[in-house]
Amino acid sequence: MPATMLPSHAMAHDTLLVCDDRMLGHEQSPHHPESPARLRAIRDKLQSQPIAGTRWQSATPATREQVLRVHHPIYVDAVDRARGVAFDLDPDVLLAPGSVDAAYLAAGAGIAAVEAVVGGAARRAFALVRPPGHHAEHSMAMGFCVFSNIAAAAEHARVALGLSRVLVIDWDVHHGNGTQHLFEGRRDVLVFNTHQSPHYPGTGAAGEVGNGDGRGFTVNVPLPGGLGDGDYAAIYRDLLTPIAEQFAPELILVSAGFDPHRDDPLGDMQVTADGFAHLCGVVCDLADRLADGRVVLLLEGGYDLRGLADSVHACTAVLAGSTPPGGGPASPGGEAAVRRARAAQALFWRF
């Protein structure tokens, strides 16, 4: 991947793309959907159709201390022992000799993107990473994920950069169980999930609203298969926007999984590249109004290579300042999902 380090004259209105060829070293079985071909497809699209106002930066591995903010030491030790060897960390997480280094780079890329945006070196950022992270639990790998990249980024913003409120949005087709479980008892990180249900991993019911002091700071919007652009647009307009306005985040992070795409083999949704661009536009507008413009996307799923590359390109264009497309009307199924989620959250937020 192109790897131009930040020059001294770089403008803060640039959109930063953080990536690294070393993440291609994470290889699983020959037909595993989470393959190096995913990053290659994204790179080829962004290089063949470059977007003005973007620049590339290589990744720096996360430190052990940064990973330990969100994972148990015994689990991190187990990952570290697998460096340089082939090892099955989980039935869904098969490690090649380069996988552990790739996992540390993926976590580090999200942290670097947050540092650039919060520090003013970039207006917005997209961490193009693998392995993904939102299924990783505190003490175990799960669902193609080794470390919780987005949780590490959120904790870095809070612990190292001094932010008080971080909004995490997850539009992957699968529920981000790991992210939810890491933050569901807290009020400083609000986690907003849309996901197909029933579907892997089986968590994320609308009634899962957080625990203890964190009640109301976990928002789940489970969706039936078949929903598309207009349905997601309605959810972001009628549910996410009023909650975000009341929460008033200082930074918005997005678990940007593109497996709700209509051609993705691991989901049953009907979202298009334009639909993802619309969602990205809503997020950017919220960031501009509420969070001093600070927004960072981190790649999660997306397994149809053309749909993935087109969707990443469309979102990157919006991050760089292109006008997002409209969202379209919602279906009855989308409207019902909004009603159910609002009912579950009515004790905590005004609608």
> What stretches of 91-241 adopt beta strand conformation (E)?
93-95, 124-127, 166-170, 189-196, 218-223
Distance CA 232, CA 247 (A): 20
Helix 37-48 and helix 305-319: axis angle, to 10°? 50
Q: Could you please report the per-residue DSSP string of 193-223?
A: EEEESS-TT----TT---SGGGTTSEEEEEE
> Which residues is 342 bridged to in the sheet?
none
Tokens 């979102």 — which residue? 315
Query: What are 74-80's contacts with CB under 8 Å, separation 24+?
Result: 74/139, 75/138, 75/139, 75/140, 79/103, 79/141, 79/146, 79/147
- Cβ burial of 76 (10 Å; 0-12, 13-18, 19+) is middle
One of 135, 174, 195, 261 is an active-site residue; which one?
135
3-state DSSP call for residue 183? helix
Q: 135 an active-site residue?
A: yes
Angle at 304 between CA 301 and CA 310, to 5 degrees: 90
Tokens 């590359």 — which residue? 309
- Cβ burial of 157 (10 Å; 0-12, 13-18, 19+) is buried
- Report CA 329 to chain centroid distance, whole Å: 25
Q: Which residues are catalytic?
A: 135
